[in-house]
Amino acid sequence: MLPVDEKLKDFYQEIIRRNQGEPEFHQAVLEVLGSLGPVLAKHPELREHKVIERICEPERQVMFRVPWQDDKGTVWINRGFRVQFNSALGPYKGGLRFHSSVNLSVIKFLGFEQTFKNALTGMPIGGGKGGSDFDPKGHTDNEVMRFCQSFMTELYRHIGEYKDVPAGDIGVGAREIGFLFGQYKRITNRYESGVLTGKGLDWGGALVRKEATGYGLVFFMQEMLKARGQSFEGKTCVVSGSGNVSLYTIEKVQQLGGKVIACSDSGGYIYDENGIDLECVKQIKEVRRGRISEYSKSQPRCKYIAGGSIWDVPCDIALPCATQNELNGRDATSLVKNGCKFVAEGANMPTTPEGTKIFHDAGVAFGPGKAANAGGVATSALEMQQNASRDAWTFEYTEQRLADIMVGIHQRCYETAEEFGTPGNYVNGANISGFIKVARAMVALGLI
Ligand code: NDP
Ligand code: 2IT
């Protein structure tokens, strides 16, 4: 267990008791509580208002049945979720995840994290998350469409431009957002562009949203490097996953002079010492929806390692971009031993608490997901802004806005960590800065 302030220990036990069988949610709460001791010492009024207790309880949780038929006519039943965590700063905002591992614990941890992440962006957005235990992998476009239509047939009543604005996450990309938006439009008879983000560029989507999480992660890492007088130039990087976040992380690292030598999917990882050929990975993943193992067929110099840990590949910079708890204590030890000095999380909570502690103890610069991957949701807020004004910005302008936002988030985390007596600790910086912003709004809005 992470060290938690004495005053918060009983409260954490209460979280466990009230949210049984939800280990991911417990983990996410504990990680934030671990930073809040000094905040309570400085702001005793937050205790009086029971802000921590309120912030850990979602405002609303919806669970629903999603029946659908596959191409053979067989009936399937999945479970849908939307957890509307906190709307003190704006409408609930956060992605939808379609993956077999989705359950209430996973959606609650993601919604909780999202609340602080969204606060860190400085944009007017609250926190929420949703999804289903349906996995689009292996299904035809028609099956995915029928699933999305059934999912939205319930979800539509809970969302709206001023209420709750979902987007993508694992298993939900432009194809799924298209089917979801189409069904929302059909049911409500409204072309409400601002109800979903990550839309296609032809029908209300924003340039740079697809690239934003990966690009933003790399902009954040660039600031971490600068803070230690370094740059991407000539550094080797390992990026886990090969989905939306990973692909555009690799792209921006390469543009900035770094070399990405490994990436993965849930089957295994590829190692290419000359640097990954990104166009080849995009063909496999974005165009063919294939497996990363196919890369070695067209790139004979590359090694494919089935199973195994990608974190055993020596590198200067590690960027976990797949899923929660994909980098554990053993992996962190291996990275540190091999000389890795910088880690930033593209995924949400990919590093276990043991892994984080090992990085901190070894003096590795560690950027937590709620700060480092906030570029995706920040650019979603820019998409909402464009939709509201019926405008469409250029790629260059939008990318510059994203870069500025990431520099701002880094600065806020860096300065807050110093102010609260833990210089260089981005975990404390992100947790405290995000928490204070939401807490102040909650106090100002009365007992909500
Ligand atoms: P994608 O579905 O596009 O890609 C997910 C990648 O992670 C795939 O390579 C997938 O491999 C791998 N992966 C997923 N689950 C597992 C698992 N249980 N074990 C091993 N590998 C796994 O999702 P995204 O790229 O959008 O999301 C990746 C991470 O980034 C998630 O943690 C998400 O919450 C986070 N994130 C996403 C944002 C966004 O804008 N999309 C914004 C901020 C954070 P396989 O294909 O084999 O399943
Ligand atoms: O985890 C995340 O920040 C996302 N999946 C993006 C959310 C969004 O609303 O763009």
CATH number of the domain that residue 231 is part of: 3.40.50.720
In short, whether 167's Cβ falls inside 6 Å of ligand 2 is yes
Instruction: Choose the final residue of a domain: 319, 352, 367.
Output: 367
CA distances from 52 to 47, 55, 251, 432 (A): 7, 5, 39, 12
**Is 423 among the domain residues?**
no
Closest CA to 235 of 219, 215, 257, 255: 257
For residue 127, what pLDDT is reported?
98
**Is 268 among the domain residues?**
yes
Do 169 and 292 reside in the same domain of the chain? no
Instruction: Choose the final residue of a domain: 339, 367, 395.
Output: 367
For residue 2, what pLDDT is reported?
54
In short, whether 166's Cβ falls inside 6 Å of ligand 1 is no
Q: What is the CA 368 to chain-centroid distance, rounded?
A: 10
Write the CB contacts of 341 (distance below 8 Å, at least 6 apart in sequence). 228, 316, 317, 364, 365
Do 147 and 217 reside in the same domain of the chain? no
Closest ligand 2 atom, residue 168 Cα: 5
- Decide if 320 contacts 326 (C-beta within 8 A): yes
Quote the DSSP letter at residue 138: T
CATH, residue 160? 3.40.50.10860
Do 66 and 185 reside in the same domain of the chain? yes
Ligand 2: which of 169, 245, 384, 402 to mutate, judged by most atoms within 8 Å of the beta carbon? 169
Q: Please give the residue range of the domain that contains residue 337.
A: 212-367
**Which ligand is nearest to the Cα of residue 113, counting in written order?**
2
Q: In degrees to the nearest 10, what's the CA dihedral of 93, 202, 242, 164? A: 10
- Residue at token pair 């833990």: 422
Write out residues in the chain with pLDDT < 50, as ranges: 1
Quote the DSSP letter at residue 108: H
Ligand 1: which of 24, 112, 245 to mutate, judged by most atoms within 8 Å of the beta carbon? 245
Do 174 and 244 reside in the same domain of the chain? no
CA 418–ligand 1 middle distance (angstroms): 32
Q: Which helix (H) or strand (E) element contains residue 77?
A: strand 75-86
**Is 363 among the domain residues?**
yes
Q: Count of H helices and E strands in the chain?
A: 17, 12
User: Could you tell me the end-to-end alpha-carbon distance of the chain, in angstroms, rounded to an integer?
Assistant: 31
Do 182 and 229 reside in the same domain of the chain? no
Closest ligand 2 atom, residue 198 Cα: 10
Do 228 and 357 reside in the same domain of the chain? yes
Do 147 and 282 reside in the same domain of the chain? no
**Is 259 among the domain residues?**
yes
For residue 190, what pLDDT is reported?
97
Do 253 and 334 reside in the same domain of the chain? yes
Catalytic residues: 129
Do 163 and 217 reside in the same domain of the chain? no
Do 122 and 256 reside in the same domain of the chain? no
**Is 12 among the domain residues?**
no
Distance CA 401, CA 159 (A): 27
**Is 389 among the domain residues?**
no
C-alpha neighbours within 13 Å on the C-beta side of residue 9: 7
In short, whether 244's Cβ falls inside 6 Å of ligand 2 is no
For residue 7, what pLDDT is reported?
79
> In whole numbers, what is the pLDDT of the chain averaged over residues?
97
Instruction: Choose the final residue of a domain: 314, 343, 367.
Output: 367
For residue 1, what pLDDT is reported?
42
Q: Structurally, how many domains does the chain consist of?
A: 2
Q: What is the pTM of this model?
A: 0.98
Do 323 and 272 reside in the same domain of the chain? yes
Quote the DSSP letter at residue 424: T
In short, whether 258's Cβ falls inside 6 Å of ligand 1 is no
In short, whether 197's Cβ falls inside 6 Å of ligand 1 is no
Ligand 2: which of 377, 382, 383 to mutate, judged by most atoms within 8 Å of the beta carbon? 377
**Is 16 among the domain residues?**
no
CA 36–ligand 1 middle distance (angstroms): 29
Q: What is the CA 333 to chain-centroid distance, rounded?
A: 24
In short, whether 436's Cβ falls inside 6 Å of ligand 2 is no
For residue 5, what pLDDT is reported?
80
- Decide if 322 contacts 263 (C-beta within 8 A): no
* Paired residues of 317 in beta bridges: 237, 342
Shortest-distance Cα residue to atom 4 of ligand 2:
95
In short, whether 264's Cβ falls inside 6 Å of ligand 2 is no
Positive or negative CA dihedral for 302, 308, 309, 315? Answer: negative
Do 273 and 184 reside in the same domain of the chain? no
